[in-house]
Amino acid sequence: MITIEQLITRIEQRQPIINKAEIDAEQLRHEFSSIGSLTTADNKQLSFLADPHYISSLSRSQAGAVLITADYRDQVPETAVALVVASPYLAYASASQIFAQDSELNGIHPSAVIADSAVIGDQVYIGPFCVIGDHVQIGARSSLYAHVVVEANADIGHDCVIKSQVVIGHDSVIGSHVRLHAGVSVGAEGFGFAPTRDPSATGWERIAQLGRVVIGDHVRIGSQTCIDRGAIDDTVIGNHVIIDNLVQIAHNVRIGDGTAIAAQTAIAGSTSIGKRCIIGGAVGITGHIEITDDVTLSGMTMVTKSIKTAGSYSSGTAAMPTANWRRAAVRFRQLGRD
């Protein structure tokens, strides 16, 4: 159980509790088991009003405490402690981490295969059947769950969480406080081939990928996402980049600090993405272009040229009844006539 006092301490790592002075000693001792939405939370649950759309649920909420902006604090029911902050959503994020039951992970499982030349920091956890190659370095307090493969010469920072069945290719550099979810592939060979078209020989000559993947600090990468090594130079992921599941980051892509990328997006080779961009799901970005800082791309946008001005961009057409769509698609096709 977590007290309000503990919650406040965690939340204030990011932002002040504006009404802290008004919370009395008894309220500070109130205990919480988890987090709930305004409509479902009970007295032992913390809730929050992040989006004013849900204001109608506030007055009847049974939550034990509510994270809320100053604008709505008067509407918090008497049974709940109001915790007033500038960003209730950020406060909820901070509080959520206290309730996560991370398993206690200790030591190095005897089944792991670890090269003698690997350098493993203090309090590192290495799970069953991990394979750690020559000259790998793993920083203090990093955890590798079951079946993680780290090839030779990779360098992993401290306080990383690397979930099961991640593969990290040779010479990859991964910062600290990085989270890689199940099945991520970092540092596989990029998709580089030169056509031969010699009828008597192979169709494609493979280009060995001599660059690395270099990932900054506080990066999060979702399940099954692939980040390929560079051809000559490196593929580079900045600090505080967050990437969802099933994303393709091709060789020599560069992603600026703080950019977020949703699931199923594909970024082709040698493209450079700026800082603080928000890239929706299933976006496709062609190769060898540049997208400047602070660009938002809505889901399924197709980007075929560089974007030089910050702002929001979209493409595509939205779902309509199929019979209507057939007519619209035919008329779109007619637009293409000479």
- E runs forming strands in 166-263: 167-168, 173-174, 179-180, 185-188, 193-195, 204-206, 213-215, 220-221, 226-228, 235-237, 242-243, 248-249, 254-255, 260-261
Window 122-161: residues binding a copy of itself (CB under 8 A): 127-129, 131, 133-134, 145-147, 149, 151-152
- State the nearest-atom distance from the C-beta of 164 to a copy of itself, in Å: 4
Query: In angstroms, rounded to a whole number, what is the distance separating the alpha carbons of residues 19 and 84?
Result: 6
Specify the stretch interacting with a copy of itself by CB under 8 A; choose among 22-30, 67-75, 76-84, 312-320: 312-320
Give me the 252-281 binding string for a copy of itself, x by CB under 8 A, dash otherwise.
Answer: -----xx-x-xxx-x-x-------x----x
Catalytic annotation on 251? yes
98-101 contacts at long range (C-beta below 8 A, 24 or more positions apart): 98/2, 98/6, 98/7, 98/10, 99/2, 99/32, 99/34, 99/35
Query: In angstroms, rounded to a whole number, what is the distance separating the alpha carbons of residues 39 and 209?
Result: 53
Nearer to a copy of itself, 139 or 169 (CB): 169
Does 305 help bind a copy of itself (rule: CB under 8 A)? yes
Window 24-63: residues binding a copy of itself (CB under 8 A): 34-37, 40
Q: Which of 53, 109, 251, 288 is catalytic?
A: 251
Window 77-96: residues binding a copy of itself (CB under 8 A): 87, 89-90, 92-94, 96
Nearer to a copy of itself, 22 or 210 (CB): 210
- State the nearest-atom distance from the C-beta of 121 to a copy of itself, in Å: 22
Burial of 26 (0-12, 13-18, 19+ CB in 10 A): exposed
For residue 144, which of 180, 97, 187, 113 has the smallest C-alpha distance?
180
Does 326 help bind a copy of itself (rule: CB under 8 A)? yes
- State the nearest-atom distance from the C-beta of 8 to a copy of itself, in Å: 16
- Residues serving a catalytic function are 251
